[in-house]
Homo-oligomer: A and B are copies of this chain.
Amino acid sequence: MKVLTKKTDYAIRALLMLGAKKGAYVSAKAIASEQDMPYQFLRGVLQEMIRHHLIVSKEGVQGGFMLAKDPDEIGVRQLIEIFQGKVQVSECMFRRQICANRSRCVLRHEIMRIEQVVHHEFEQVTIGKLLRKLHAGANMMPSLRDGEKPDSLKLKEGVVLQ
C-alpha cells in the first residue's frame, strides 16, 4: 500500500524547491536535475499543478515556475487528492444508495473513521511547514537573498546532496 505515488512525491519536492527560491522562476530542467527526477515526467506534474493554481509559469528563456500561493496554504492532502484522487475506502461503496449488506456497512463505518484521522493528519502537513523543517535542520537548501543574481538557477553541486 503506497501512501505517496511518484507524482505526489515529485510534486511535493518540486514545491519545496520553489518555496526555497521564492520570487524567482525555476525551470523544470533545474528541478529535475537537482532533485533527480525524470524531466518530462516532472513537466507533466508541474503542468497539473498549474491547472490547480498552485504554481505559475513563465515561458521562454529564463522562464520557469514559481509558487502561486503561500506555502502554508499548500497541504499534502490537497496534493494527494490531485495526483492520487480522494482518499476513499473502496470506490464502489460511495456509489451505493444504501450499504448492500450489513457487514460491509459496519466495516465502512470503521474505515471511514480512520479515513478522517488520515485526512486530518495530512491536512496538517503543508509545504510551509516542511520548508521550515528544512531550514531548521541545516543550510542545505539556502534561499536566494534579495538582489542576489546567480548566473544559473541551479544550486551548486554538493549543496543539496549530502
Contacting pair B101 A35 (CB below 8 A): yes
Select which of B102, B116, B140 is within 8 A of A134 by beta carbon.
B102
Give the number of copies in the complex.
Answer: 2
Contacting pair B125 A110 (CB below 8 A): yes
| Given known A-B contacts A13-B104, A17-B103, A102-B137, A88 and B36 have beta carbons under 8 A apart | no
Chain B residue at minimal CB-CB distance from A98:
B142
**A75 nearest CB across to chain B (Å):** 11
Contacting pair A84 B144 (CB below 8 A): no
Q: Which of A109-158 contact B (CB under 8 A)?
A: 109-122, 125, 129-130, 133-134, 137-138, 140-142, 144, 149, 152-153, 155-156, 158
Select which of B36, B111, B113, B120 is within 8 A of A4 by beta carbon.
B111
Q: Which of A55-106 contact B (CB under 8 A)?
A: 76, 80-81, 84-91, 94, 96-106
Residues of B within 8 A of A28 (CB): none
A-B contact pairs, 7 of them (CB 8 A): A3-B89, A3-B114, A13-B101, A16-B107, A35-B103, A94-B162, A102-B140
